[in-house]
Amino acid sequence: MIKTDILIIGAGPTGLFTVFEAGLLKLKCHLIDALPQPGGQCSELYPKKPIYDIPGFPEILAGDLTSNLLEQGKQFEPGFTLGERAETIEKLEDDSFIVTTNKGTKHHAPIIAIAGGLGSFEPRKPQLEHIDKYEDNGLAYFIKDPEVYRDKKVVIAGGGDSALDWSIFLADVASEVTLVHRRNEFRGALDSVERAQELKLIGKINIITPAEITALHGKNHIEGVAVTKDGETQIIEADAFIPLFGLSPKLGPIGNWGLEIEKNAIKVDTLDYQTNIPGIYAIGDVNAYEGKLKLILCGFHEATLMCQSAYKRLNPGKKFVLKYTTVSGIDGFDGTRKESPKAVVKAIV
Ligand SMILES: Cc1cc2nc3c(=O)[nH]c(=O)nc-3n(C[C@H](O)[C@H](O)[C@H](O)COP(=O)(O)OP(=O)(O)OC[C@H]3O[C@@H](n4cnc5c(N)ncnc54)[C@H](O)[C@@H]3O)c2cc1C
């Protein structure tokens, strides 16, 4: 059982900034995300795009914003459960909660902050018979650890950036990489398409287009995939099959947690972004209230107010005095201290 003060569901920019604001109040956070890496939409959908409306940054790449948020929160030692979807919630007698993921990991916290954005990103799955049987048995929709594929025969399907980038990366790790796409044209960055073409020419990647995966083979684990091109089917021996057809966001299981839902978003009050269930907050893109704007800076603001409310809930009756970080400095949970240089006090005689 993972125990924390605030359990954050969603490690997008809102969830990551919550770690910092909670840390200032000496509250510890743990984050769950269905994706294998933090950053939410910023890292999954547009890491190389510049954002122009983050206060204080005239221009910042979405991927760099994620790195900065991780760096800013690091001293408060957040925990992460990545690549797992928060599935069920149970309220205990003491008003705390247990959240269990689709992989069975249990988390216990008195405060839940849902920062789930557009919902959990679910992989688009190809329509193949018995596909469920092979999931986690050679078939993966994300690559969490490329080392798993060392010296293995890998078949990747898809025509976007992920399919290209991972084919290129795994060319130096796997013993054999085959990339299958239903069109001749790829929708990836030009340099990735060119690099894949080069690797094909020197025999480091097999590229089969226009073609489709039509069946999976293997007793209990992937042993081969059937590839159909121009009406003819061949079986390619494989230890792993990785379909990378993109992700679609779904509010998913959180929609069944008894929260008030409005147009696929969670209704909150605008005082502290609490939901209809006391102790459960919803911040960032996932919430709904009058005048809501789905912007990163709004998520940061909501996270800040939500942490204040969580602090009061956890410390009833305790007086809270807002202190500027420039004045009080920051005491990390890792023993580090950041503070601005002390003013020189000198007597005037
Ligand atoms: C192309 C593009 C450009 C954009 N440009 C800008 C811009 O210039 N400026 C701006 O302010 N905004 C921009 N946005 C919007 C901005 O990205 C979002 O407002 C922001 O990402 C919201 O952050 P979030 O943390 O609330 O949610 P998200 O970034 O969506 O993160 C939510 C995370 O929660 C996870 N999650 C959800 N449900 C579960 C569950 N049950 N279990 C586990 N994990 C779960 C998801 O996997 C996801 O990683 C842009 C968006 C796109 C798509």
Residue 342 has pLDDT above 90, yes or no: no
Residue 177 has pLDDT above 90, yes or no: yes
Distance of CA 248 from the midpoint of ligand 1 (Å): 12
Higher-confidence residue of 213 and 47: namely 213
Higher-confidence residue of 283 and 319: namely 283
- Please indicate whether residue 35, judged by its CB atom, sits closer than 6 Å to ligand 1: yes
Inter-residue contact 208 to 233 (CB < 8 Å) = no
> By percentage, how much of the chain surpasses pLDDT 70?
99
- Please indicate whether residue 252, judged by its CB atom, sits closer than 6 Å to ligand 1: yes
pLDDT digits (tens, 9 = 90+) for 201-246: 999 999 999 999 999 999 999 999 999 999 999 999 999 999 999 8
Structural domains of the chain, ranges and CATH numbers in brackets:
2-121+247-338 (3.50.50.60), 125-243 (3.50.50.60)
* Tokens matching residue 253: 């299981």
Other Cβ atoms within 10 Å of 308 Cβ, number? 16
Q: Which residue pairs, CB below 8 angstroms and at least 24 apart, start in 131-134?
A: 131/216, 133/220, 134/216, 134/218, 134/221, 134/222, 134/241
Inter-residue contact 253 to 87 (CB < 8 Å) = yes
Predicted local confidence at residue 312, as pLDDT: 95
Residue 103 has pLDDT above 90, yes or no: yes
pLDDT digits (tens, 9 = 90+) for 164-175: 999 999 999 999
Mean pLDDT of the chain: 93
* Tokens matching residue 222: 């992937």
Q: Is 33 annotated as a binding residue?
A: yes
The CA-based diameter of the chain, rounded to the nearest angstrom, is: 96
Residue 35 has pLDDT above 80, yes or no: yes
User: For the residues 59-82, what does the mean pLDDT come to?
Assistant: 97
- Please indicate whether residue 117, judged by its CB atom, sits closer than 6 Å to ligand 1: yes
Alpha-carbon distance of 82 to 215, in angstroms, equals 30
* Ligand 1 atom closest to residue 252's alpha carbon, by position in its atom list: 41
Inter-residue contact 163 to 213 (CB < 8 Å) = no
Report field, pTM of the whole predicted structure over 0.85: no
Predicted local confidence at residue 250, as pLDDT: 77
Between helix 13-24 and helix 62-74 the angle, nearest 10°, is 20
Q: Is 142 annotated as a binding residue?
A: no
The residue behind tokens 């604001």 is 21
The residues pairing with 338 across neighbouring beta strands, listed in sequence order, are 330
Predicted local confidence at residue 189, as pLDDT: 79
User: For the residues 70-77, what does the mean pLDDT come to?
Assistant: 97
Predicted local confidence at residue 12, as pLDDT: 97
Q: Is 343 annotated as a binding residue?
A: no
Predicted local confidence at residue 251, as pLDDT: 85
Predicted local confidence at residue 58, as pLDDT: 96
* Ligand 1 atom closest to residue 35's alpha carbon, by position in its atom list: 47
Residue 349 has pLDDT above 80, yes or no: no
* Ligand 1 atom closest to residue 285's alpha carbon, by position in its atom list: 26
pLDDT digits (tens, 9 = 90+) for 239-288: 999 999 987 777 889 999 999 998 889 999 999 999 999 999 999 999 99
Alpha-carbon distance of 146 to 243, in angstroms, equals 15
Band of the pLDDT at 87, cuts 50, 70, 90?
very high
Predicted local confidence at residue 246, as pLDDT: 84
* Protein residue whose Cα sits closest to atom 33 of ligand 1: 10
- Please indicate whether residue 99, judged by its CB atom, sits closer than 6 Å to ligand 1: no
Phi-psi region for residue 193, left (φ > 0), alpha (ψ -120 to 50) or beta? alpha
pLDDT digits (tens, 9 = 90+) for 110-153: 999 999 998 877 788 999 999 999 998 999 988 877 899 999 99
Band of the pLDDT at 333, cuts 50, 70, 90?
very high
Predicted local confidence at residue 308, as pLDDT: 96
